Amino acid sequence: MPLLVFQITAVLVLVLAAFFMFRGGGAKQQAIRRIFFLLFVALAAFSLFFPEAWTKVANFFGIGRGTDLLLYIVVLVFFGYAVSTFRKFRNQEKQITQLAREIALLRTEREQDNK
C-alpha cells in the first residue's frame, strides 16, 4: 500500500510540473523555487549525517533501497527542472520576437521619415 502512495505522489508531482509548464510565472514561482532549493539543501545535509534514513523511508514506501528512492526523486526533480527551463526559454523567445518586431517597425518608420 505505501508503494502505491509513493507512485500516486510521483504522478501528482509530474502533473503539477506539467501544469506549471503552461502557467505564467512570476515572483510567487521564484519564491517556491527558493523554498524547494532550501529544502533540497537541508535534505542533502541530513543525508550526510544519516544516510540510513533514506533506506528506512524507502522501506516504508515499499521500495527496496534508499538509493532507488533517491533515483526516483532525482528523476522527478530533473523533470521539474526541464519544465522550468522550457518555460524560461519559451518566455525568452517571446521577448526576442517582440523586440525584433519593434525594431523592424522603428526601422520602417525611420526609412519612411528619411524619404
Domain that holds residue 57: 2-25+51-114
> pLDDT, tens digit, for every residue of 21-47?
566 566 777 787 788 778 888 888 888
User: Distance between CA atoms of 11 and 33, rounded to whole angstroms?
Assistant: 19
Question: Residue 44 domain-assigned?
Answer: no
pLDDT higher than 90, residue 93: yes
Q: What angle do CA 70, 65, 60 make, to 5 degrees?
A: 90
35 lies in some domain: no
Assigned domain for 31 exists = no
Q: How many structural domains are present in the chain?
A: 1
pLDDT of residue 2 exceeding 90 = no
| 33 found inside a domain | no
- Name the pTM for this structure: 0.62
Mean pLDDT for 2-30 is 73
CA distance 66 to 115: 73
- Whether 40 is covered by a domain: the verdict is no
Query: Is the residue at 39 inside a domain?
Result: no
